[in-house]
Structure 1
Amino acid sequence: MGLFPFGSKKNKVLKMISDGDFERILRSAARDPKYVDAVIELLKEGNPGIRGDALLIIGELTIRHRDLMMPYIESGLPVTVLSLINDPDPYVKENAMQSFEAMLKYFPWVGEKFKNEMASLLIEILRTGDKNRKAFAIIMLGRLNVKEALPVIEEFKDVDDTVILPLEGIKWVSLGEIAEKVIKELGGKVND
C-alpha cells in the first residue's frame, strides 16, 4: 500500500468521480494501488456523495480485484466500511452495506479476523439505528455467527415494521421475520 502524501491520486480520483468515470478509476486502481489509497482517503470527505461514491468503488474493487484489495482488507478496511453504515446519508449507508456484504462474501475469513470489532459495531447499530440499519445488523450478526447477540436480536422477533435493504432479495420484509430467521440460524428458540 502506498502512503497518502507523496504521489496521492486523490485529486485525479475526485476529477474522475465528478466526470462519472468510475470504470477509469477501477482500471487505474488495478494498475496503481495509489488509486485505491486515494479512494479510501475519500471515505473521510465531508461531502456524502463523494463518500458514497468511494464506497461504491471499494465494493467494485472488492468484487473485481480481490488480490489488489487483500492488503486493505487485512488491514481493517471492512471495519471502516461497516462503521459508515451509521452515516446519516442514505447513499453512504446503502453503499456501505453493499460494500461490506461484498467483503464478507469474497473474503469470508474477515468475519473471524475482525469478529469482535464487527460484532460490537453491529450491536451498536442494532441498538441505535433505524429499522433498515437494524435489519442489516441482524443479518450480518447471523452471517458472522455472533451467538452472543441472540438476546438483543430476540427483542426484534415480534416487530412488524417492514424494511428495504440494498441486498439481494431483502425488500419489504418484516424486521421480525428477519430476526426469527437469524435466531434459528444461530441456534436460538423461536415461536412456531
Structure 2
Amino acid sequence: MIQVGLFSFRKGEKGKIKKMLEEGRIDEVLRKASKNKKTADSLIELLEDENPGTVGDALMVISNMVKEGDSTVVVDEKLVRKALELLTSKVTYVREGAMALSMEIAKRYGDKHREEFSKGIERLLDEGDVNQVAFALLLIKELKLIQFKDRVEQLVNIDEKVMLPFEGRRWVKLGDIAKEVLSSL
C-alpha cells in the first residue's frame, strides 16, 4: 500500500512538470529541477511521453542542466541510450533536442560513456539520414573515436548539404564536416 502511495506521488510530480512545460514555464522547471532530484528524474521520465513537444522541452531542460554541470541529473547509460535513440525521431524539435543533449553529454561525460556513444554512432552511420550522419561525425570528433576513421574517409567527397542545430553547421557539405573530423583524429 505504501508503494502505491509513493508511485502516485511520483506520477503526480511528473504530471506537474509536464503541465509546467506545456504552459511554457521552462525556466521555472529548470530552476526547480536544479534544486530537486525528483523533478530532474521526472524530466528524464518525460523523455518517454507520447507528446513530442513535451519530449523536446524535457530534452532542452536536461541539456541545459548537463551543460551547467547540475548534480541533480544522473547521466547514466540509460539516459545516454535514450538521447541517442531520440536522434532518429521524425519530429525535428525532438531530434534537435536529442542532438543538443547528446553533444553536452559527450563533452562532459564522453569518456565514461564511450561504448554507448560508439554503438549509437555506428547505428547513425549505418541507418541515419545525411543530417544524422553529420551529427555522428561531430560526435566522432568530440570523442576522438579513431576507430571510425575509415568510415569518415568514405564521406569526404559527399557534396550533399546538411542542417544541424549548431552554430556554423547549417547548409554545410557533409564532406566538409568529414574533412574537419579527419584533421582532428
TM above 0.5, yes or no, is: yes
Q: Secondary structure at the match of 2:124?
A: helix
* Counterparts of residues 1-192 of structure 1 (less than 5 Å): 5=7, 7-8=9-10, 9-69=13-73, 72-74=74-76, 76-105=78-107, 107=108, 110-186=109-185
8 Å CA contact 1:26, 1:61 repeated in 2: yes
**CA offset digits 1:51-73 (Å, max 9, x no partner):** 1111011112223352222xx11
Per the alignment, residue 189 of structure 1 pairs with none
* Distance change >3 Å, CA 64–CA 183, structure 1 → 2: closer
How many residue pairs align between the two structures? Answer: 178
Task: Tell me the distance in 2 between the aligned counterparts of 1:37 and 1:66.
Answer: 13
* Distance change >3 Å, CA 65–CA 145, structure 1 → 2: closer
Q: Secondary structure at the match of 2:90?
A: coil
Identity of aligned residues (%): 32
Task: Tell me the distance in 2 between the aligned counterparts of 1:146 and 1:84.
Answer: 21
- Structure 1 moving runs of 4+ over 4 Å: none
Q: Secondary structure at the match of 2:71?
A: helix
8 Å CA contact 1:10, 1:39 repeated in 2: yes
Task: Tell me the distance in 1 between the aligned counterparts of 2:144 and 2:38.
Answer: 35
**CA offset digits 1:59-117 (Å, max 9, x no partner):** 12223352222xx1145423321221111211110011112222233x1xx22211112
8 Å CA contact 1:131, 1:175 repeated in 2: yes
Gaps of 5+ in 1: 187-192
Gaps of 5+ in 2: 1-5
Deviates more, 1:73-82 or 1:83-92: 73-82
Alpha-carbon RMSD across the aligned residues, in angstroms, is: 1.6
